[in-house]
Amino acid sequence: MLPSGVRLTARRFQQLGMLFGSGGGLEAMHYLLEKAFVNGVTGRELSELFISKVERASSFENSPIFCILHESIYAEGYATNWAAEQLRGEFPEFDVDGDHGRYLFTGEMVAPSMLEDHYSLKPLKEVAQLLAEKEDWGPLYDLGQLAQNEVPVSAIAYYDDMYVPVEWSEETAQHVGNFRIWVTNEWEHNGIGVDGGRILRRLMDQLDEAAPFGFRG
């Protein structure tokens, strides 16, 4: 049982794959598993330190809206119907009850099972289902207006971003006028958190280059 009073399920443990998209994520998982077990009265058992860290690393306690709106914010004229969960069904090797010879983790996805696996999400189960079934979402963006943008825009995208395919970032940049994109493999998804000062300086320099009299001056 986790400190919040819910059971640690295999599927919730799979969610820790979210760590792999950030610099230092693989190391964090390594250290977590390294100290997972201790010698208890009846033999080897999961340590309290491990259990509490797993809960924090996989928690939506402080951001429940991240779960219930995660797919809906991309919907445009259709219902998401738990899209990631549907796709998961096409890959039986992710089935926690199967015998595949290895344990696979999932990434940035949400599933209806999370509404049971997370204490703070239980009261939101009904509304999450309503959002998953909602079909009448309006247009997300006015592409014509974005193309007319005159304000210099500078952004970074990562070749090794586990969460956002770089091709989609580059395609988005093409829809926005006066947009400069810096694509690099120096960092992963959390580049701003790892080396924010250096990244911000480079982005501001790009804005200076885009503005005839200096964007900052």
pLDDT at 103: 86
Which residues are CB-contacts of 172 (< 8 A; sequence separation ≥ 6)?
A: none
Looking at the predicted structure, is the pLDDT value of residue 98 above 80? no
Mean pLDDT of the chain: 90
Counting beta carbons within 10 angstroms of the beta carbon of residue 75, is it exposed (0 to 12), middle (13 to 18) or buried (19 or more)? buried
Say if residues 63 and 70 touch (Cβ distance below 8 Å).
Answer: no
Cα 108 to Cα 87, 136, 150, 181, 205, distances in angstroms: 13, 25, 34, 24, 32
pLDDT at 145: 96
pLDDT at 96: 86
Q: Rounded to an integer, what distance in angstroms lies between the CA atom of residue 76 and that of residue 16? A: 29
Looking at the predicted structure, is the pLDDT value of residue 149 above 90? yes
pLDDT at 159: 94
pLDDT-based confidence at 213, cuts 50/70/90?
Answer: very low
Q: Determine the average pLDDT of the residues in 182-193.
A: 93
pLDDT-based confidence at 63, cuts 50/70/90?
Answer: confident
Cα 119 to Cα 39, 68, 111, 126, distances in angstroms: 29, 14, 15, 14
- Dihedral class, residue 159 (left if φ above 0, else alpha if ψ from -120 to 50, else beta): alpha
Instruction: Look at 13-22, 96-105, 127-136 and tell me which has the smallest mean pLDDT.
Output: 96-105
Q: Does 4 or 78 have the greater pLDDT score? A: 78
What share of the chain has pLDDT > 90, as a percent? 70
Neighbours of 44 (CB within 10 A): 10
pLDDT, tens digit, 9 for 90 and up, residues 119-142:
889 999 999 999 999 999 999 999
pLDDT at 212: 55
Secondary structure letter of residue 98 according to DSSP: S
Is residue 39 classed as helix, strand or coil in its secondary structure?
Answer: strand
Cα Rg for the chain, rounded, in angstroms? 21
Give the strand pairing for 37-40 and 179-184.
Answer: unpaired
Looking at the predicted structure, is the pLDDT value of residue 215 above 50? no
